[in-house]
Amino acid sequence: MTFKKIRFTLVGLVLMATLTACGSGEKKKEIVDTKYDKFTKVVILTDSERLQPNEYSSAEALVKNNEYQKKHDKDEKLDISHSILPDDMDSQAMNKIFDKIKNDKDINTLVVSSENSGIIHYIKSLDRARKDIITISAFSSKDVKDLAENFDIALDYEKKTDAKEIVDIAKTLGAERFISIVDEESLGHDHKQELLAELRDKSSKIDTPYEEIKIPSGMDRISKKAYVSNEISKYISKYGNDINFYPTSRDIDEVLLNRLVSDKFIIAELSQRNSTKFMMDIYGLKQIGRMSENYNLLNGQISSFFNTNYGFGGRVAGLGADPRSHIIRYATQLGVTLNSKSAKPDKAYNTYFLEQVSTIRTQISAGFKTPYKQYKNYKVMSVDQIVY
């Protein structure tokens, strides 16, 4: 059995396979040795919180943490600011933002996340005036050509849920049976119907019995939750707790997480690919504002919660970070690394380098691929699964 990568947050154990090699000490030192970093000034541009809540929150958290570090660490060599693009791309407001960037000679990295294609005009203008600034696009868009041809580096993220990965991880965690809990009303979202068919197929290929619990139509939310809880009890009574339950809605997620701490069954993935913050809300775990987008820390809190309060771990998995949030944090650290090491943007064409930046600078493991041969600077990030 092979699968991309699993990162265990439990007791600091890290297992990495296939995509990330060990590398030489010198290669690792190139990225790890932050004490030799040069001063880097980063500007992050995002759309408004209304349009881009995840990206906006990520940028705000980075700024708050940077302000904290500057206040408590005299040797802090990083300055991060966040500017919000106007929803209507008003030319006067846009010119004001970009003129400020052009005139600040200390700025050497620009990270941009915008759903408006009009941003390209201003990036072209900036490039003519300030070729010394590393420009990084950190937004998923269909306009690959525009992004790749006008930014030094264009980052995207993987959106498709991998059925084989879910089934393989469930098996690795000890699942002897795979049960999907199907809420018909949720199947129109995120290609769930297609995913269920793939889960059934992948389970059969590794000789794992597959079944579906279908919630009867016409139930209200409370009735649905009660029905799901009763069905979980029936399956555990019949087969034991080495069962993987796959939910198709947030309501089912909630039932599973509440039952998990007592029944200790397996959840290879919840209904949404990253559910770190949802899990923290369910379990009443607090987030520090400036660290609210630091998924390595958040994941560690959840692992500690399971281990300390209920004496178990290794029964729940999920995507290690929200891609829309992590791509902002990652792009910022990539810019810092390139500037600090006096590296040209084409250093980021190397996927091994990109993986190491993610693993060491953000403590979130991720793989990268280059989907278009003609655009070596266009990379798609795939955040790895973790096991709590």
Quickly state the pLDDT bin for 17 (edges 50, 70, 90). Answer: very low
What domain count does the chain have? 2
What span, in angstroms and rounded, lies between the C-alpha atoms of 262 and 310?
8
Is the per-residue pLDDT at 3 higher than 60?
no
Instruction: Note whether 30 and 55 are same-domain residues.
Output: yes
187 falls within a domain:
yes
Instruction: Note whether 257 and 197 are same-domain residues.
Output: yes
CATH number for the domain spanning 145: value is: 3.40.50.11400
CATH number for the domain spanning 180: value is: 3.40.50.11390
Is the per-residue pLDDT at 5 higher than 80?
no
DSSP string, 253-301: HHHHHHHHHHH--BBS--SSS--HHHHHHHTT----GGGTT-HHHHHHH
Instruction: Note whether 98 and 33 are same-domain residues.
Output: yes
Instruction: Note whether 93 and 189 are same-domain residues.
Output: no
Is the per-residue pLDDT at 350 higher than 90?
yes
Instruction: Note whether 45 and 115 are same-domain residues.
Output: yes
pLDDT tens per residue across span 200-257: 999 999 999 999 999 999 999 999 999 999 999 999 999 999 999 999 999 999 999 9
Query: Which residues touch 83 (CB under 8 Å, ≥6 apart)?
Result: 43, 44, 45, 97
**What domain range includes position 207?**
163-272
pLDDT at 2: 37
Q: 181 is written with which tokens?
A: 């809990």
Sheet holding 317-319, edge to edge: 6-8, 385-387, 317-319
End-to-end CA distance of the chain: 21
* 56 within 8 A of 48, measured Cβ to Cβ: yes
Instruction: Note whether 378 and 348 are same-domain residues.
Output: yes
Instruction: Note whether 92 and 184 are same-domain residues.
Output: no
301 falls within a domain:
no
Instruction: Note whether 96 and 178 are same-domain residues.
Output: no
pLDDT tens per residue across span 146-199: 999 999 999 999 988 889 999 999 999 999 999 999 998 877 666 788 999 999
Is the per-residue pLDDT at 15 higher than 70?
no
pLDDT at 123: 97
Q: Residue range 102-116: average pLDDT?
A: 97
pTM of the model: 0.88
What span, in angstroms and rounded, lies between the C-alpha atoms of 306 and 239?
23
What span, in angstroms and rounded, lies between the C-alpha atoms of 247 and 181?
5
pLDDT at 222: 96
Q: Which letter does DSSP use for residue 359 in this model?
A: I
